[in-house]
Each structure stands twice: as structure tokens, then as C-alpha cells.
Amino acid sequence: MVIFVETASVKFNSLEEIAKAKKKISYEEFLELCDEDTLAEWVNGEIIMTSPASRKHQEIAFFLQSILHSYVEFYRIGEILGAPFQMKLPLSGREPDIIFVHSDHLDRLKDTFLDGPADMVVEIISKDSVSRDRGDKFMEYESAGIAEYWLIDPTRKQAEFYRLGDDNCYHQVLLDAEGKYHSEIIKGFWFKPSWLWQEPLPPDWEIRRELNLP
């Protein structure tokens, strides 16, 4: 893909060049330069380049997206989308690993991005994303009103679940006595984080049976 941007009389040929020069561009310009292979996010005009995901990261993302998609599609309560797909917030354009958009908010979905907050976001932590996922994104998602934020850490084999309270702040939600997390925004959906640490991951048919899906 041939790309060209001129900012303050300086010519740039790629997002990498813009990021290194620390030049600011609009979100519209950012989208024009992106394709499905772009590993970057837009934050307050600046380009943040990200690293390729590990195999384990991809396996967990695919597993979670698959069971979430099966449940959401069966009950027709919205849409599940995975990276690469942009989510435009007031001061950033993030690319979460997984997002859930409730049926009431499907009007926010555009061809190449979600224009506004998702109802639930999943981020799978990698070595280079710890500070972003636990810091910057945590505050951005909380401020944007994203109802649920799931943080999955494959290295520590740890999953954390945050829910937006009446005070507009995230509060951690613990697992039940059987080790299950019950989503509030995806009504009736639950899963066991311990599934994520199994080698190999449980087969799709087994999880569908647990969730009473056809």
C-alpha cells in the first residue's frame, strides 16, 4: 500500500515515520494510513506502534472470541469483534483484542471502526502492553463508560474482571465459588478462567456443551 502524508511541510511515507518523528495527525488521517496488518493505535493525535502478538496470545484471543461469538450470536444480543478493529474514544483510537457491542449500540459500528465505546472490552496482556493495559487503557475505558473490562494475563495465568459502578469507577468482580466469572453486560454468559491456562485449550464443542449451546 502506498501512503503519503505531509505534516508541517514534512513528508512522511509510513505510520512508523510519523511515530518516530512524534508528529500529530487526525484520526481520519490515521485510518487512511491503516490496513489490516497495521500494528498501531492513535492516542491524542500521536501514533503508538505495538508489537506482534505471541502464539499464546493469539490462541487465547481466538478461544475467547469463539465462545463469546457463539453465545452472542445464538442469543442475538449484539456483536463480538476481534483485533484488528479500531474503537474510537474521545482522545484515542484503540484496538482491543476483543470487543462486545450490545444490540442497542450497533449504530456505532462503521466499516473500519467502532465510533464510540464498546460495552465490554477484553485485553490480553503482553510484555510490552502491561503499562498500557493496566494504566492508560484502564483509565480511558473507565472514563468512556465501558461497562466491563477484562484483563487476561497469560504469563501470570491471571484473569481480572472490572465492572463500572454507579460512581463511574471500575470495581473488581471476583469469581464465584465454582471459579466462574459471570458477565453482567452479556446476560447469562459465564466462563471459567482456568480454561485459558489448559494445554491444549478445551475444544470448542466441549465449551458449547458447558454453556448449553447447540
Residue 127 CA to residue 79 CA, distance in Å, equals 29
The full DSSP string for 4-59 is -EEETTEEESSHHHHHHHT----HHHHHHH--TT--EEEETTEEEE-PPPPHHHHH
Residue 6 CA to residue 199 CA, distance in Å, equals 49
Helices then strands, each counted (H, E), the chain: 6, 15
Rg of the chain, C-alpha, whole Å = 18
Low-confidence ranges of the chain (pLDDT < 70): 1-15, 19-21
Burial environment of residue 140 by CB neighbours within 10 A (0 to 12, 13 to 18, 19 or more): buried
Per-residue model confidence as pLDDT tens digits over 53-102:
899 999 999 999 999 999 999 999 999 999 989 999 999 999 999 999 99
pLDDT given at position 127: 86
pLDDT given at position 51: 78
